Structure 1
Amino acid sequence: MEITVLGGCGAWPAAGLACSGYLLDHDGFLLLVDPGYATLPRLLELVPAERIDAVAVTHKHPDHCADLNPLLRARALRDDPAPGLPVHTLPGALDAVLALDRPGMLDEAYDLQEFAAGEAFEVGPFGIETMLLPHYVPNAGLRIRADGATVTYTGDTGPSPLVAELAASSDVLIADASYAEEVPEDSAAYLTSARQAALQATEAGVGRLVLTHLVPETDPDAALRAARDGFGGPIDVARPGLTLDVPQQSG
């Protein structure tokens, strides 16, 4: 399994960057996770829109799903429209994004497949387990596996023992790290710091930690320093172009 980061900003895209977006490739099947603000131009630098095989969205906030609209437009508004794109998400999470265009304009461009948090399902070669994690709105953490390789992605979440439960023994944990050291009091139940993400990664016994959803004011180097105090394995900050190869595990 190969993971390519399209963006990792929280709330809004900083200059030259993009919000949450991750392209997972296994045996040529392309799964796009969380097409947030400004991710589509980065995606189109890699593959044409019609090459995407499926999309998974963790929650309704636009920094995680806004660029689904231009992705669908890029697939539908052409001489040879692409087939309907399977889109997996929580009930109602994409109502606002899918209502941006005139009624019926993009109806044939997607195949909405809603799931309840806690359900598991298959998407091409990927098996996906889901878990409701604490955020301002319903947010589904995703545990994604393919041929023994496992990646867990929190979406946006407050600190919770459920993160370590979902991520247990994952090869890679892509974790909300909105702030380096401390989350402001009014958001402490709904967002996570890099320091907290590192402790959760250690508890889960993951192989690698990727810090994501850094708000534009968060210094990536400060986030890395904070995370290194709590996690001894490799740590990355989610930046456009970061690519990770997650090898198949034997046994």
Structure 2
Amino acid sequence: MRITVIGCCGSFAGPDGAASSYLLEHEDASGRTWRILLDLGSGAFGPLQRVLDPADLDAVIISHLHPDHYLDVTGLEVFWAYHERDDLGTLPIHAPAELPDRIAAVLGRNGIIPDGVSCAPFEHHVLADAERFTIGPLSFEPRLVIHPVEAYGFRITDGTSTLVYSGDSDECPALDELAADADLFLCEAGYIEGRDDHFTGVHLTGKRAGECAQRAGVKQLALTHVPAWTDPQIPLAEAREQYTGPITLVRPMDILHVHP
């Protein structure tokens, strides 16, 4: 599995990058490359187009309905609904149940069919805790994590290697279970100790991300979702005090590889 970091800025798009979005690519036994987008937050649809033609996407997964994780799905819908090609079909989107209503509200319409077209561009699939699903050769296990809205982390495997994506979460047993023995743990670290402790049930600090990775025995930790107002070296240093394995601080357009 290969992950291209489309955007990794926490809570809102920053001056040097978009909000959360990660392109997951994996080649199956026949040589076909599957392309799945994990989140498409504010500002991310633009840089996504520098990496691939969005028409080549096989599916999109939205971890939760905060704008920094889903808002640019509205741009993707415009692309998919009005594209000059007529062979795109419908694009599967796995997300919390309210996503279609949120898209319609942002675009000022009723229902899931865009103005002027005859069919919906997206095929909506509702996420549920511990209900696994597959996309091509990849298996996905969503788990409800701790956040102010319905939010999911994901355990993704091709049968030999495992990627875990925290989405947005504070520390919780479900996140520990997801991360157990993961080859790569792509984990948010939106807060820092001392400054943000009075916000509970929202985000991990670098310290708590490192503690989770250490408890879970992950092989590699990649920190993400650091907001523009935070020096990223602070959550990185916090995590290093807790986790003894290799740590990466992701940046836009980084490429991460998941190996067993």
Check conservation: 1:2, 1:24, Cα contact below 8 A: yes
Matched to 2:97, the amino acid is P
Three-state SS of the structure 1 residue aligned to 2:221 is: strand
Matched to 2:250, the amino acid is A
Compute the displacement of 1:38 (Å).
1.1
Q: 2:153 aligns with which of 130, 141, 146?
A: 141
- TM-score by structure 1 length? 0.93
Moved more, 30-39 or 111-120: 111-120
Between the aligned partners of 1:217 and 1:52, the Cα distance in structure 2 is 32
Q: 1:178 aligns with which of 174, 190, 209?
A: 190
**Structure 1 residue runs of 4 or more that deviate by more than 3 Å after TM superposition:** none
Q: Which runs of 5+ in 2 are unaligned?
A: 28-32
Q: 1:111 aligns with which of 123, 137, 140?
A: 123
Which aligned pairs between 1:171-210 and structure 2 lie closer than 5 A?
171-182=183-194, 184-210=196-222
- TM-score by structure 2 length? 0.90
Aligned partner of 2:80 in structure 1 is 75
Matched to 1:105, the amino acid is P
Three-state SS of the structure 1 residue aligned to 2:35 is: strand
When the two structures are aligned, how many residues end up with a matched partner? 248
For the aligned residues, what is the CA RMSD?
A: 1.6
Compute the displacement of 1:181 (Å).
2.7
Between the aligned partners of 2:162 and 2:136, the Cα distance in structure 1 is 15
Aligned partner of 1:91 in structure 2 is 97
Compute the displacement of 1:19 (Å).
0.7
Between the aligned partners of 1:152 and 1:97, the Cα distance in structure 2 is 27
Between the aligned partners of 2:53 and 2:148, the Cα distance in structure 1 is 34
Moved more, 103-112 or 169-178: 103-112
Between the aligned partners of 1:150 and 1:84, the Cα distance in structure 2 is 28
Q: 1:54 aligns with which of 49, 53, 59?
A: 59
Check conservation: 1:34, 1:65, Cα contact below 8 A: yes
Q: Which runs of 5+ in 1 are unaligned?
A: none
Compute the displacement of 1:233 (Å).
1.4
Compute the displacement of 1:192 (Å).
0.8
Compute the displacement of 1:182 (Å).
4.1
Aligned partner of 1:238 in structure 2 is 250
- Change in Cα spacing, 1:51 to 1:88, as seen in structure 2 (3 Å) is same
* Identity fraction in percent: 33
Moved more, 86-95 or 61-70: 86-95
Three-state SS of the structure 1 residue aligned to 2:120 is: helix
Describe the superposition over 1:169-225 as per-residue Cα deviations: whole angstroms up to 9, x where unpaired: 011111120023346244222211011101100111111111111122111112211
